A and B are shown apart, each in its own frame.
Chain A
């Protein structure tokens, strides 16, 4: 055995022993699972206008890729809090076959634009305006924020209800890519209207 290989083997023993002690526990998942009728069904194919621009897009445009659909509104405090996580996760997964779509829910277009300009716009995300709530109805949106996970076959596999974060978003995408069942998770409250 060459000297370099010997050194590598010895160091591996040290590393594994140390890491076993330091990282001996596991981060658990949120246990608050609730059923959702959309899970396991094809994602609705509804064409929506792009926020602040001309043209339209639909979820079918992203067939063959994992799609994360976040439903948000400028009047929703939880949406403001989670927005940076959506931007950072979209960018981190931009080259990993994952597309992000954010759909503005019951919002005035000018408020949506102001919200995005203030909190950040990701070039890796498509922003759509659900002007007549057709998409929200089809998705079964109860309130905002809600986030849906669609696999590369266009099937809805998971949903997070409430304010999310980058770790949970990324972990859910990781699980989806590994073919795990996702289901629905409630991680916080949602708002149905600005007055809530």
Chain B
């Protein structure tokens, strides 16, 4: 892959982000109706995702050296929102009384622990020719992606998050997937700037996302060595009602260290 290709992909990603920002503004002023906005957002997210995919392919080998503990900690951090995300996915497609395979696969109470990765892959593959049913299996896809993510099979996780983003999900789901993509391109591929831009998209989709804010704080603090930049993000995380007292205590300790200009390590 040449530097020219990387440059082209970065430009494509930047353009998609600009389009999304402009769309946000147009929607906030009522210049674009909801349906048009939804359609355009899906297109821009798809463009962004294609660019991210290309950039991810460029950097398959890890280019940053981080401790295993740091990597595992970060991976755990950004699964904070999974219960919320999967629950919400289920809420808008819920078919709890549906005994068909689609119904089972779309049920948010479906327990992936009873099935191997191969079984979940097979089930998702079997819906490829049925876009409507495929959409309903998003909870299963999200859970499979999480499983790959937690086992650090980032290439496989990335593919499933990409499919989720492409499916024009609810903003909170798009945000969760984008947050994980940001983590992958940062930790696995060492693309700090791209990771920052991606997590910004996650925050644009769901401004109240605690996990996106926390990941952005990590990227800013650890990836960009900018403790001052991390402070307002950590302050936002501390006041979130999505964390308990123990987590709040940890974030408070982070905040104290960042506020005093210390590094994150």
Residues of A within 8 A of B (CB): 2-8, 10-15, 17-19, 21-27, 84-85, 87-89, 91-93, 96, 165-171, 173-174, 177
Contacts and interface: CB of A to CB of B under 8 A. Distances in A.
A88 B112 CA distance: 18
B164 to A, nearest CB: 17
Scoring B79, B121, B122 by chain A CB atoms within 10 A of each residue's CB, the highest score goes to B122
B114 A171 contact: yes
A18 B84 contact: yes
Interface string B79-100: 1101110110000000000000
A14 to B, nearest CB: 5
Contacts of B121: 88, 92
What 7 pairs between A and B have smallest CB-CB spacing? A170-B119, A18-B83, A88-B125, A92-B122, A4-B73, A4-B69, A11-B76
Contacts of A88: 121-123, 125-126, 128
A117 B159 CA distance: 28
A7 B83 contact: no
A13 B244 contact: yes
A8 B76 contact: yes
A19 B108 CA distance: 11
B77 A22 contact: no
Nearest to B210: A14
Nearest to A170: B119
Contacts of B69: 2, 4-5, 8
A8 B129 CA distance: 39
A93 B119 CA distance: 8
A13 B247 CA distance: 9
Contact of A22 (B108, B128, B264): B108
Contacts of A167: 101, 104-105, 115, 119, 122-123
Interface of B: 67, 69-70, 72-74, 76-77, 79-80, 82-84, 86-87, 101, 104-105, 108-116, 118-123, 125-126, 128-129, 243-244, 246-247, 250, 253-254, 264-265
Nearest to B264: A3
Contacts of A2: 69
Chain A interface, DSSP helix/strand/loop, else mixed: helix
A18 B110 CA distance: 14
B126 A22 contact: no
A84 B125 CA distance: 9
Contacts of B265: 3
A171 B247 contact: no
Contact of B246 (A13, A85, A91): A13
Contacts of A22: 83, 86-87, 108-109
Chain B interface, DSSP helix/strand/loop, else mixed: helix
30 contacts: A3-B73, A3-B254, A4-B70, A5-B69, A5-B73, A6-B250, A7-B77, A11-B76, A11-B79, A13-B244, A13-B246, A14-B80, A14-B247, A15-B83, A23-B110, A23-B111, A26-B111, A84-B128, A91-B122, A92-B119, A92-B121, A93-B122, A165-B123, A165-B126, A167-B101, A167-B104, A167-B122, A169-B119, A170-B116, A177-B116
A185 B89 CA distance: 32
Contacts of A173: 116, 118-119
Contacts of A25: 109, 111
B134 to A, nearest CB: 12
Contacts of A6: 73, 250
A85 to B, nearest CB: 4
A14 B251 CA distance: 14
A2 B67 CA distance: 11
Nearest to A177: B116
Given A166-B122, A167-B104, 4 more contacts: A8-B77, A22-B109, A84-B126, A96-B118
Contacts of A85: 122, 126
B244 A7 contact: no
